[in-house]
Structure 1
Amino acid sequence: MQVNQPKDIQHFHIVGINYKKTDAAIRGLFAINQEQYDQLLCEATAAGVNDLFVLSTCNRTEIYGFAASTDILAGLLCKVTHGNMQVFKEIAYHKSGEGAVRHLYHVGTGLDSQILGDYEIIGQIKTAAKFAKSRGCIGTFLERLVNSVLQVSKLIKNETGLSSGTVSVSFAAVRLLEKKVKNILDKKIVLLGVGKIGRNTSKNMVEYLGVKNITLINRTTAVAEEFAGHHGLQYAAFDEMDEALQEADIILVATNAPQPTITRANLDGSRPRLIIDLSIPFNVAPDVSELPGVEVVNVDELSKVQDETLQMRLNEVPKAMGIIEEHMEEFLYWFKMRKHAVVLKAVKEKLTEIHTREIQSQKNGALYKLEDIEEVSSRIIQKMINLMAGKVRRETDKSDQYIAMINDIFETGVNQE
């Protein structure tokens, strides 16, 4: 009987790049949008790789999954992005087995984030895994692992101070404005992109800086209109962007488009402006910063904006690590027991097969007596002994190990010494 064993955990890999070794421009080459993600999953399925997901944020692009090697996963990633495979292999990191499992726990709980304790990352993992599952690309192992990471992230948020205080890319933008811009209440602010980062940035500006002179612009105007209405802000249609930008003192860009949203053509060079690019890849063209009086700040520079809560978060790392190790041990125990359960189920099926065959052989379509049942049972027992003895004879180098295991399982009480 062929036993359908769970995948070997040593073939579970993560390969990726993040803020630690690459700047935002390089990360932008390997960023994945939804269309590219869909294409990657189709390519993976066609290649027989059907248990994986991709995490792509402003600070990292990582692919998790089962494959014969990390090169297979890296190849899938590079095939659908604008990056080069050789460049990727030079800058990428990879982990396998338990190391890959632990890495996902660290990423999901904010321990590996550019801003320690960033709680937004767990939502991005959930979304990425959900998308892969909808395409049939998440198996039992990955689904269970992601659910465990989600649970641990929530526990760490509730039971430690790792995510306490307000530290995030969107809040770092507010801190930067607080330090750089005088009389900000008198400034005209335009925010492009009303996705999660854009919404959070808007809320933080309203709450911490007290500004209301914010005009929201989104490709889907209804999204900007609804959010503006709930928060007492202004909005403009996407085709009115140039006019709004010309009047703006501060521009925040959170569009996450594959190409720059703002170019020199969108601006005149006659007035000073501060532009904060929250997007990966960059959505402000490189030559915009050459305009007189224009300062462009990107996400890597924002990460240097420190907050007093960071030191408090660092003090919480050991406690968070303890929670991770505890739940990772539970996950690995589940995986180990699942492997055993598959084998035990197969053994049961084997025994049932032997039992059914012997009963049918004895009956031959007729009724039979108690002594016939005893004869059948005796034959079944002997056939199982023959199966074990045959295995021991064939595997002479492991025979002592097998006999010791059988002796232990059936608790015979025989002393083999």
Structure 2
Amino acid sequence: MQVFLQPEALYKNMQVSHSKEIANFHIVGINYKKTDAAIRGLYAINPAQYQHLLEHARTVQLDDLFVLSTCNRTEIYGFAGNPRELMDLLCRESNGDREQLEEMAYTKSGEEAIRHLYQVGTGLDSQILGDYEIIGQIRNAAKFAKAQLCLGSFLERLINSVLQVSKLIKTETGLSKGTVSVAFATVRMLERKCPDIRDKKIVLLGVGKIGRNTCKNMIEYLGVKEVTLINRTLQVAAAFASEHGLQFAPYENMVNEIQSADVILVASNAPQPTVLAHHLTHSSPKLIIDLSIPFNVEAAVGELAHISLVNVDELSKVQDETLQNRLGEVPKAIAIIEEHMTEFLYWYKMRKHAVVLKAVKEKLHEIHMREIQQQKNGANYKMEDIEQVSSRIIQKMINLMAGKVRKETDKSDQYIAMINDIFETGVNQD
């Protein structure tokens, strides 16, 4: 399954400052396991920052990488001399501190980094086990990197393999069965905290993907209708409201709308908080659920006595019997990952061999043509000439092999054994 369409020719003239060996493939990241949402928000990368990061990466000869930034993690994958180079890129564009990142981040290299991407892409490493939305986020992040000429053949092949494995696990296991997501966790939280939710006035601030999914879940599972949509682009809110029979209001009316609401859902994904403490200081009691990373509700809002504030980390703790069923599917998913990771590593190994074999073929062709030209020397071509040319070619190949064996004395036995095996001479070296 190929999802990237730009040709490899785009990469021919690009230079790198490191070898594309698997040992030089790294990941640097932070996620929900060691950091809370507030810290993750400091290292979140928005589209503008992502573009700047990739542009700068090319100037320092890092050209095979991508960044995955979601509400639960920020990770940078790519080839570099060492993981610190990737960490430099991340710190350069994010609002986080380098010293803090070094303390909180995890780094993985080589096959460990490859396996990690498979586990992330299949939902095994998600805060909500089996979260299937992550694979779309990986696909989009990789497409963006490729459009900026920062995704090479290795990462493209690896990501395509991860996409295939994710699809297989979804269809052949129960890891993603049942409804469990941030949007669904929001519904469960509302059921718990607002049993009379149908009688409450709800404001949804932000009608992006998370906001739309949450709103659809509320309509389907809770039967709510009293929802007012607010979005910076009014047409987006108006279109979604018309489709689902909801109300909408212009962004300029946000303060008035949230002051009169009982429940506020914030999914605006702005770089700075949009709901501030002074907006609600004298308002009626409210439940506010902040679905954004970085937070779009000012921390001081949670200190107001009449406000109950919930963020994405608290939502992820909402457990459902579906999650318990998914745990039993983990071994099946891991087995599928290992099978396809083995295939990917075999492809990588064979690709390396193919490069060598191509070079050998070119070398043989060069010797062959040179010997023929020397033998012909402008004369007619005769059978005796062919025999002499072939004899000299064979001897020159033997000389090349012998020269290498003599030069690499510590590996001479290994080379001879390999040559013996390749040409199947039948000679017993014992």
- What is the TM-score normalised by the length of structure 1? 0.97
The equivalent of 1:378 in structure 2 is: 391
1:414 Cα deviation from its structure 2 partner: 1.1
Equivalent in 292, 295, 312 of residue 308 of structure 2: 295
The equivalent of 2:127 in structure 1 is: 114
Equivalent in 103, 127, 138 of residue 90 of structure 1: 103
Distance (whole Å) between structure 2 residues aligned to residue 25 and residue 316 of structure 1: 32
> What secondary structure is seen at the aligned counterpart in 2 of 1:282?
coil
Map 1:211-250 to 2 at 5 A.
Answer: 211-250=224-263
Q: Is the 1:189–1:248 contact (alpha carbons within 8 Å) kept by the matching residues of 2?
A: yes
Q: Is the 2:204–2:264 contact (alpha carbons within 8 Å) kept by the matching residues of 1?
A: yes
> What secondary structure is seen at the aligned counterpart in 1 of 2:28?
strand
Distance (whole Å) between structure 2 residues aligned to residue 290 and residue 112 of structure 1: 32
Distance (whole Å) between structure 2 residues aligned to residue 6 and residue 378 of structure 1: 38
Residue identity matched to 1:203: K
1:270 Cα deviation from its structure 2 partner: 2.8
1:7 Cα deviation from its structure 2 partner: 1.6
The equivalent of 1:77 in structure 2 is: 90
Residue identity matched to 2:228: T
Q: Which runs of 4+ in 1 moved over 4 A?
A: none
Residue identity matched to 1:403: I
Equivalent in 173, 176, 186 of residue 160 of structure 1: 173
Q: Is the 2:44–2:69 contact (alpha carbons within 8 Å) kept by the matching residues of 1?
A: yes
Residue identity matched to 1:306: Q
1:66 Cα deviation from its structure 2 partner: 0.4
Q: Is the 1:269–1:292 contact (alpha carbons within 8 Å) kept by the matching residues of 2?
A: no
1:363 Cα deviation from its structure 2 partner: 2.1
Is 1:23 matched with 2:36? yes
Residue identity matched to 1:161: G
1:268 Cα deviation from its structure 2 partner: 4.8
Equivalent in 320, 323, 327 of residue 314 of structure 1: 327
The C-alpha deviation readout for 1:80-137, integer Å capped at 9, x for no partner, is 1111111100011111000000000110111101111111111110111110010000
Q: Is the 1:191–1:251 contact (alpha carbons within 8 Å) kept by the matching residues of 2?
A: yes
Distance (whole Å) between structure 2 residues aligned to residue 215 and residue 362 of structure 1: 88
The C-alpha deviation readout for 1:50-96, integer Å capped at 9, x for no partner, is 10000011110100000011111011101111111111000111110
Residue identity matched to 1:360: Q
Equivalent in 137, 144, 153 of residue 124 of structure 1: 137
Is 1:270 matched with 2:283? yes
Equivalent in 407, 418, 423 of residue 394 of structure 1: 407
- Say which is worse superposed, 93-102 or 226-235, in terms of deviation: 226-235
> What secondary structure is seen at the aligned counterpart in 1 of 2:328?
helix
The equivalent of 2:264 in structure 1 is: 251
Map 1:336-415 to 2 at 5 A.
Answer: 336-415=349-428
The C-alpha deviation readout for 1:255-295, integer Å capped at 9, x for no partner, is 11110011124335230111000001100011112334111
The equivalent of 1:282 in structure 2 is: 295
Q: Is the 1:246–1:268 contact (alpha carbons within 8 Å) kept by the matching residues of 2?
A: no
Distance (whole Å) between structure 2 residues aligned to residue 232 and residue 158 of structure 1: 34
The equivalent of 2:188 in structure 1 is: 175
Query: Among the aligned pairs, what percent are the same residue?
Result: 73
Q: Is the 1:269–1:291 contact (alpha carbons within 8 Å) kept by the matching residues of 2?
A: no
Q: Is the 2:371–2:393 contact (alpha carbons within 8 Å) kept by the matching residues of 1?
A: yes
Distance (whole Å) between structure 1 residues aligned to residue 371 and residue 236 of structure 2: 70
Distance (whole Å) between structure 1 residues aligned to residue 311 and residue 282 of structure 2: 20
Residue identity matched to 1:123: G
Aligned residues: 414
Equivalent in 56, 62, 66 of residue 69 of structure 2: 56
> What secondary structure is seen at the aligned counterpart in 2 of 1:313?
helix
Q: Is the 1:117–1:163 contact (alpha carbons within 8 Å) kept by the matching residues of 2?
A: yes
The C-alpha deviation readout for 1:378-403, integer Å capped at 9, x for no partner, is 11111111100111111112111111
- Say which is worse superposed, 197-206 or 214-223, in terms of deviation: 214-223
Distance (whole Å) between structure 2 residues aligned to residue 235 and residue 196 of structure 1: 17
Q: Is the 2:124–2:330 contact (alpha carbons within 8 Å) kept by the matching residues of 1?
A: yes
1:6 Cα deviation from its structure 2 partner: 7.5
- What is the TM-score normalised by the length of structure 2? 0.94
Distance (whole Å) between structure 1 residues aligned to residue 52 and residue 244 of structure 2: 37
The equivalent of 1:32 in structure 2 is: 45
Q: Is the 1:261–1:284 contact (alpha carbons within 8 Å) kept by the matching residues of 2?
A: yes
Q: Which runs of 5+ in 2 are unaligned?
A: 1-15
Q: Which runs of 5+ in 1 are unaligned?
A: none
Residue identity matched to 1:156: I
Distance (whole Å) between structure 2 residues aligned to residue 182 and residue 204 of structure 1: 16
